[in-house]
Structure 1
């Protein structure tokens, strides 16, 4: 299924489309086929399939393994399904996750933060902790990626 309109869509380097969103926007926009929600508590959606990643505001994910597993699933589903990544405000955590997806889609690790700020939101990846987390996970992602 394809997205209607271009609201909040990010085209990854390999052409896959992902909707980056805030939780408020997600509740009023057409629901995705699959979503990954980066929040302190489960959003308990009933109108879509989703994974909840425990990730407090202005922080890093509680589990890197679970986060990367959810983001890999989102990336794998994006070519054929409407996929959304969202957090409360739609900037820091969402931007950090989109940087991971950009690397899966072909962006160089060293360019990921700048790419997501240019292609999604100028303040994406809000905190130093989020940038440090990316510096630890992105190199491993490209070494271990089998897509």
Structure 2
């Protein structure tokens, strides 16, 4: 297993993931093995060249929900699998709070927490305003149903 990224947090299942904002300079230390980035085409154009490691972008406007919720959910599941297998992973949006916090809460559901507890856990361990909007918090519940109950048609 490789060393975790500086600033990474340990999910309830022991999985390590770093959440950050792209508006801040990249932390020192090793580069991620993989990154999941959340934002608009404009944010991607602004930051993509600096992301020299393998990564994926999820189209996700600030304060809103992913444009394709199923594709986003599948990307989050893949990120968790990578992290569980020992890869250094990070998730980031522009500020590192709303969208990033929503994804970290989703990862916490994959680590075994119920959605409401996952949001509370994320606010306690990542950022106190994580999953900023009511619809982002509801999306964590949708995500949990999508991956755990196979609710692939809602």
| Alignment TM class, shorter chain as reference | 0.7 to 0.9
* Structure-2 residue corresponding to 1:39: 39
8 Å CA contact retained: 1:18, 1:85: yes
1:10 Cα deviation after fit: 1.6
Q: Residue deviations 1:68-122, cap 9 Å, x none?
A: 1111111001131110000000000000000110000111223111111111111
Q: Residue deviations 1:20-50, cap 9 Å, x none?
A: 0001336354421100000112242451100
* Structure-1 residue corresponding to 2:3: 2
For residues 129-144 of structure 1, the aligned pairs below 5 Å read 129-144=135-150
CA distance 1:12–1:4, shift in 2 (3 Å)? closer
TM-score, normalisation: structure 1? 0.88
* Structure-2 residue corresponding to 1:58: 63
Segments of 4+ in structure 1 off by > 6 A?
Answer: none
State the distance in 1 between where 2:97 and 2:24 align: 12
Gaps of 5+ in 1: none
TM-score, normalisation: structure 2? 0.84
State the distance in 1 between where 2:27 and 2:5 align: 14
State the distance in 1 between where 2:91 and 2:19 align: 5
Pairs aligned (count): 143
Q: What's the Cα RMSD here?
A: 1.8
